[in-house]
Each structure stands twice: as C-alpha cells, then as structure tokens.
Amino acid sequence: MPEHSKVWLDDTTLRVMTYKSGSFVFQLGVDLKQSQAMLDRVNDAQNRFNKMPNLPQIIDQIQEKVLASSIYSTNTIEGGQFTEQETAAILSQDPKTIQKTEERRLTNLKEAIEWIKTSSAKQLSPNQGKPFELSSVFKLHRLVSQNLDEQHNPAGQLRNNQPTQTTLVGNNAHGGAYRPPKCIEDIEYLIEAWVEWLNSPHIINQPVIIRACLAHYYFELIHPFWDGNGRTGRLVEMFILEQSGYRFSSSAVWSYYQTNIHEYFALFNACRKLAEKKQVYPNQAFIDFVLMGMFNTIEHLHDISNDLITYLLYQNHLNHAKYNKLISDRQFNLIHLLIKIIGQQGRFCSQAELLRNSQVSMLYNGKTERTFYRDIAKLIELGFLSESDGLIIMGH
C-alpha cells in the first residue's frame, strides 16, 4: 500500500497522494487577471452595501428575509420540499417544539448560520483572509446534523466506506457521477491537507471570494461525511466570506445556486475533469459562476434595502400626517389594510375590489360608499396612494 504524502508543486498547488484514492491536487486554477474586473464590481457593490445606514428596522428585516431565503435555498438544493413561506414559518417557531426531521433540518441550519455570524466582520476586507480551523468543519456538520433521525449520518463523524459500499456524488443529468475518496484514512489525510492548503501563505492572501469558493469546491470533492456535505460546504464558504465582511451576501448567494442548480452541480464535474486533463485554469468556470452569483446577489440586497428605506420613510410620513390631523384614523387604518391586502394577494386591486374586502367593509361599517371613495381621493391627493390602470397602488 502506498504511503500518504504531500508535495507543493508551486506556491499555490499542493498534490496529495492517498492510500487508495490516488492523487488529489489542490490548486488555484484561475486566471486572476481575467477575474479581476468582476471581483472589483463585486467588492465595490459589497462595500457600498456595508456602508448603508445601519438602522435597526432595516437590518432586522433584511436579516429575516435573507435567513429564510438562504435556508430555503440550501435545503431545496438537497431535495427539501418546503416552500420559502413554509420555511419562514418553521424558523419562527421555538426550536424545542420541532419534532419532524425535515423541519429540524431547517432549524439546524438556522443555528449553524447564527454560529457563523459570531465570527462576522463588519468592514469589508476583500484581500485579507483569516485562518480557517479544521474544528470549524466538524462544528458545522454537527450543527446541521444534530437531533436528526438519521442513523447512517452520525453528526461530526467522517465517512468510512466498507469494501462493498460505494458513494456516488452527482448524476448524468448534472455532468456525471463522481466517486469521492472512501476510506477514512484517505479522507482524514485529505481534509487536513485541504485546511493546510487554505491557510498557506499564498492562498490565504488570495481574493477572499476566490478562496471561499475553492474551499467550497474542494470540500465537495472530498465529500468527507456520509450526508450533509452540500449544506456544510456552503456553510464553510459562508464562514470564510463572513470573516472578511461579506455581510448577508455570504448566504444569500445560495438562492443563486438554487435558481441555477443544474449549472451549479455540473460545474463541479466539469472543473474536476479539466483538472484531470491538466488543463490550464480548470477552476475558472466555477469561479466565474460564483462571482456572477455574488454580484447579482449583492445588487438584489441593495434593491431590498432601498425598498425597505423607502417604506420606512413612507411610514414616517404617514405617522406625521396622522399626528398633525392631515388624515383621519380611519384613513390611516385604510392604508395599513391596503398594505396587508396587497401582501396577502401579491397584487394590487381596484377601488371596488378593495371596498368588497371583508376587513375594509368592517372599517366602513355604518359609513356610506361615498365616504370610502372620498377617503381614497383624499389619500391620492396627499400622495399616500396613487391609481394606475384602475388599480390602487402605494404612493411615494
């Protein structure tokens, strides 16, 4: 049986020889000059996002939205069946009351994300990586796997296939199946070499997004645990991003992965095959994919933030109008009912449709229809509402 061995081929490339799985190469595999323009766009967008006003009302709502979306996305990638709305509802419950394994997966992910957030940096440091500890991998896997009814997946325990056991990752629909290392001696050696490579001087000082992306990529190729590797690998990526100030985008990018799930899975195999053929820059496509995902994600976070700020200003203006008796309590309540109805229906409605709503009807109990239409006209005149194509929409 061959001996375990490691050799640095250059400053950023570590080749590992295993007992039974052959050689395994950790490499940068990317043309930094080709990626620099998109890196600059991503970092500029993230820097502007980090400098937005840290109003508690805004931050809390962004955090709530991103948490539900991120957990929904990473869980769906692994075959979860809950909708985003159902996910948000489960996450709002007391974890101690959760009994079903499928629901516990969600609350476990929430706990793992909250643990990562304790290591978050507030300021962006796009080229200053921080050491990554092997213990963090086991901590994250224990968090995502705890209290699940899965005897085949002990929390925090590395995989050790028996001679008759075969582990396959992927399928033909996503670029082909891959057989990861299977004996625990090889997996232990590889996961330790992976951390050594991540923390080596010329890798830790690479652009943080590229280092985080490659940490995720090589973790999935090692596939060290029986189950939960996808969730844990994305959390590893998030951890490295959070350490350097990629606030919210670190997990919000999972929505991009889920939306583009075929390409996401296929790239693992495509890049792996290019590396086997010793092609130049075999990891470029995966890096490009993540960079585009990060940019789109951060731009979306800007949109969410701007919408929330606009809504906050609208509410302040509305409260001011009520306090100064520019609008009545009834008109004030009508606007809040309209906001609620639009949120429930997911669309705007006409004046007549609004009047037929049971809650609006109760608000105008004992009043004439003319009173309702006068209130609408007054709110449009003051700019709190507007009308377009016969539909009532919120003003600005």
**Catalytic member of 141, 174, 216, 223:** 223
Interacting residues of 68 by C-beta distance below 8 A, sequence separation 6+: 84, 87, 88, 91
Q: Tokens 């000082």 sit at which residue?
A: 205
Residue 1 has what pLDDT?
52
Domain annotation for the chain: domains and CATH numbers: 5-306 (1.10.3290.10), 327-394 (1.10.10)
Residues 304, 63 contacting (CB under 8 angstroms): no
Q: Tokens 């949120």 sit at which residue?
A: 343
Residue type, 21: S
Residues 338, 87 contacting (CB under 8 angstroms): no
| CA–CA distances in Å: residue 199 to residues 208, 223, 283, 325 | 12, 20, 19, 63
- Was 229 annotated as part of a binding site? yes
Residues 210, 35 contacting (CB under 8 angstroms): yes
- Was 227 annotated as part of a binding site? yes
Q: Which three-class secondary structure state does DSSP give residue 393?
A: strand
- Was 228 annotated as part of a binding site? yes
Residue 396 has what pLDDT?
62
The whole-angstrom separation of Cα 347 and Cα 338 is: 11
Cα torsion through 265, 269, 43, 88, rounded to 10: 20
Residue 25 has what pLDDT?
98
Looking at the DSSP assignment, which residues form a beta bridge with residue 349?
392
**What is the distance in angstroms between the CA of the first residue and the CA of the last residue of the chain?**
73
Helix ranges (H only) for 51-129 are: 56-77, 84-91, 101-117
**Below-70 pLDDT ranges, the chain:** 1-2, 396
Is beta strand 5-10 parallel, antiparallel or unpaired with respect to 391-394?
A: unpaired
pLDDT tens column, 8-33: 999 999 999 999 999 999 999 999 99
Residue 308 has what pLDDT?
87
Residue 2 has what pLDDT?
65
Report the side by side order of strands in the sheet with 385-388.
Answer: 349-350, 391-394, 385-388
In the annotation, is 4 catalytic? Answer: no
The whole-angstrom separation of Cα 90 and Cα 144 is: 16
- Was 147 annotated as part of a binding site? no
- Was 232 annotated as part of a binding site? yes
